[in-house]
Homo-oligomer: A and B are copies of this chain.
Amino acid sequence: MKKVAVLLAPGFEEGEAIIIIDILRRLNIQVDMLSCNDALAVTSYHAIMVTADALLRDVASQTWDAVVLPGGPQGSQFLSRDEQVLDFVRRHDEQGKLICPICSAAARVLGGNALLKGRRYACSGDLWQNVGDGTWVDAPVVEDGNLISGKGFGLVFDFAFTVAARLLGDEAPAREHAEHIYYPWPR
């Protein structure tokens, strides 16, 4: 079974994180919600307290098939400044694991820390203007090697189904499930 780490920081965009977790678990992919803070309970962008499965610091040496970085203004800033998070992302990237930022995360967490490495990426708003490394693409989801990035919140289903399809090595289960929940994917 493929397994995915979703990094939860204070102020994470709850809709992005929860939809991704929900879709991946529906497709029988193991998801571990990792708190990047000092407690399992993490409070989201719009004040929803969610309980993570583990603290990142307790499992940081383990390896997942994909690392998901949700957005949220405060959440992605937290991730972009946390050395343990950056070490975790850097190690997974070097090992060729999927790196999956959505919304502000590609520009802030990767772009802000020399982790885009010239790759093409999607990102919300005009944050791409502050990024010297990497090439911003105006698309719902952009794939470049092991980097899968999503433009934003309203496109989170597209992002989640794409990540699931790549992890499973097959688009069929994701297509079938998209139809099951009445979501038009792929567009």
Contact = CB atoms under 8 A, between A and B. Distances in A.
Contact of A22 (B22, B46, B140): B46
How many subunits of this chain does the assembly comprise?
Answer: 2
Contact of A154 (B13, B25, B151, B183): B183
Contacts of A78: none
A86 interface: no
Given A140-B182, A181-B153, A181-B154, A25 B47 contact: yes
A95 interface: no
Interface of A is mostly: mixed
A182 B50 contact: no
| Chain A interface size, under 10 / 10 to 19 / 20 to 34 / 35 or more | 20 to 34
A155 interface: yes
A5 interface: no
25 contacts: A14-B18, A14-B21, A15-B18, A18-B18, A18-B19, A21-B48, A22-B45, A22-B46, A22-B48, A22-B153, A25-B46, A26-B46, A33-B48, A48-B50, A48-B51, A51-B51, A151-B182, A152-B181, A153-B182, A154-B157, A154-B178, A154-B181, A154-B182, A154-B184, A155-B183
Given A41-B51, A50-B51, A154-B184, 11 more contacts: A13-B22, A14-B22, A15-B19, A25-B47, A26-B46, A48-B50, A48-B51, A50-B50, A51-B51, A151-B182, A153-B181
Interface of A: 13-15, 18-19, 21-23, 25-26, 33, 41, 45-51, 124, 140, 151-155, 157, 178, 181-184
